[in-house]
Amino acid sequence: MLNFFRRIRRNLANQNKFVQYSRYAIGEIVLVVVGILIALQINNWNEARKTKIVEFKLLQNIQTDLKESKNSIEIMVTRNTKQLISYKRLLYCVKNDLPETEALNSTFGTIPTWNTPYLNYSAYETLKTKGVDLIQNDSLTNAIINIYDNEFAYLINDWDKWEWNTNQTITMPFFVKHFERDSINLEIARPNDFKSLKANKEFSNLISTLLFLRKKGVTHGNRIGLKVDSLITAIEKELMKS
């Protein structure tokens, strides 16, 4: 009988040890799992921080490029506006049969020329390579894409090509036929025969066409310039959040 109770006590002791070991093992497992979760959280935080740094730098570079592009657009608008004024005066002289002047000769010299903006795409190309979803602010991402893929694309792929095609097919052939550049001051050109030129309807049509094209560039340049300003401000606000 005594042996029976001793066996029971040994069994109970073994069971207690098993429970203790089980609890210890479970505790170890929990600690390992918690450690893994903490490590994953730290890793995710580090990755998010690295991504944020890359996003911040890209936005800074895009903002810098936009400021350069905006300055170039402003130069384009200013110079082409001066041409608009000159061409209107030229048409007035032609319509009223006024004599040739040095001011007109300066205007004649600009007939085959126009100003086109230099638009900086460097940072935007980098963004497309890394992925536009790198920028967390969706509205800002859409605004950047719109400026580069739509607004800037219009100036370069539509308006400027329109100017170029007109220049190559119409303006330059007419200019070479009817004008001679000054041998000293190449900015000046003189008509071979101003009197017959004033009576030439093709000439007044050409100047009217150039007025139309320059006006397109100035109008859209001003409009796009305002959008670029707005985007620069939006990027600045986003950078201040970081």
DSSP state of 181: E
In the block, residue with structure tokens 């093709």:
202
pLDDT attached to residue 49 = 73
Check: pTM over 0.95? Answer yes or no.
no
Q: What percent of the chain has pLDDT over 90?
A: 72
Q: pLDDT by residue (tens digit) across 182-240?
A: 888 989 999 999 999 999 999 999 999 999 999 999 999 999 999 999 999 999 999 99
Query: At 28, phi and psi to the nearest 5?
Result: -65, -45
pLDDT attached to residue 47 = 60
Distances (CA, A) of 161 to 115, 148, 165, 210: 12, 17, 6, 14
DSSP state of 186: T
d(CA 69, CA 121): 9
Average pLDDT, the chain: 88
Confidence of residue 1 (pLDDT cuts 50, 70, 90): low
DSSP state of 82: H
Range list of H helices, 96-110: 102-109
| Number of Cα atoms under 13 Å in the Cβ half of residue 242 | 21
d(CA 158, CA 47): 42
Distance of CA 238 to the CA centre of its chain: 17
d(CA 63, CA 130): 17
